[in-house]
């Protein structure tokens, strides 16, 4: 599933994948930055808590955005695919100046939203210039090829990652979250071994990668973003590896960026 095309006169909206566990108390800088790009005091935020099975998730984020000064913050309970046909929900998405997708299980997002009017509206609103943020599972679902699970550890392995279709807000990057905290370098490397065209983006907790219309990302938050660039990969053992064995990947580039660091996904250049 690819991003919707941008129509004449528009620029694609920001994407803000967040690594999870973003600060919500004394210094909620990631949520504040998202609110700022959505219009500040005029922001109307739609919250989609489908990934979570906790009933308090939607109301909690609505209260957080209202406390930060949003004009409006609504959450919608999408628990079944039939809920995605609700015309009032789709109308609220059309009126939103920002859409926030919560954490939980990314397979709930793809399984419940995939192929529905809500997923189509998410891609269309992004193409129309509306910022979309997602934390944890909500970050993973942005990729066309979504990481759904996999083993912890530093080394890539033949069976080290489970992939599933995401919602396709980006077809340039494959995103992983809770990256350093859950030791996920190996599974992101494994994902890239399937398709070296993609850029691997591993995002730590309380950290976001704010991607603009020119496909340039900026790090926001207290942790780091790890960028894996396989575009110059010269050798890989992927095609010959036996089940469960480690993979060899030669000429993989790696960047580690902290707050303010930038990475241009078109030119594949990093800067701090």
Collapsed DSSP state (helix, strand, coil) of residue 180: coil
Tell me the CB-side half-sphere exposure of residue 224, using CA atoms within 13 A: 12
138: closest CA among 50, 225, 55, 201?
50
Q: How far is CA 78 from CA 16, 45, 145, 151, in A?
A: 21, 16, 23, 30
Pairing of strands 216-221, 207-211: antiparallel
Q: Which residues contact 169 (CB under 8 A, 6 or more apart)?
A: 3, 15, 122, 123, 126, 132, 141, 142, 143
Tokens standing for residue 224: 């780091």
236 burial level (CB within 10 Å; 0-12, 13-18, 19+): buried
**Residues 100, 114: Cα–Cα separation, whole Å:** 17
So which residues are the catalytic ones?
136, 178, 205
């Amino acid at each position: 599933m690819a991003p919707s095309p941008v129509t004449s006169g528009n620029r694609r909206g920001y994407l803000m994948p967040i690594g999870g566990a973003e600060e919500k108390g004394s210094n909620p800088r990631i949520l504040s930055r998202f609110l700022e790009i959505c219009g500040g005091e005029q922001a109307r935020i739609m919250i989609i808590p489908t990934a979570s099975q906790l009933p308090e998730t939607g109301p909690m984020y609505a209260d957080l955005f209202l406390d930060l000064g949003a004009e409006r913050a609504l959450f919608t309970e999408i628990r079944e695919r039939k809920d995605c046909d609700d015309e009032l929900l789709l109308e609220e998405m059309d009126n939103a100046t920002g859409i926030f997708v919560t954490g939980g299980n990314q397979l709930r997002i793809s399984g419940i939203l995939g192929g529905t009017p809500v997923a189509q509206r998410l891609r269309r609103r992004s193409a129309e210039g509306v910022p979309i943020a997602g934390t944890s599972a909500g970050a993973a679902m942005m990729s066309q090829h979504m990481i759904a699970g996999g083993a912890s550890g530093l080394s890539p392995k033949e069976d080290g990652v489970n992939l599933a279709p995401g919602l396709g807000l980006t077809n340039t990057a494959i995103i992983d979250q809770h990256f350093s905290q859950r030791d996920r370098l190996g599974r992101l490397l494994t994902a890239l071994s399937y398709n070296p065209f993609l850029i691997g983006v591993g995002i730590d907790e309380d950290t976001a990668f704010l991607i603009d219309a020119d496909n340039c990302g900026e790090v926001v938050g207290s942790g780091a973003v790890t960028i894996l660039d396989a575009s110059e990969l010269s050798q890989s053992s992927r095609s010959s590896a036996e089940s469960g064995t480690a993979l060899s990947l030669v000429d993989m580039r790696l960047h580690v960026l902290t707050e303010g660091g930038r990475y241009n996904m078109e030119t594949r250049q990093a800067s701090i």
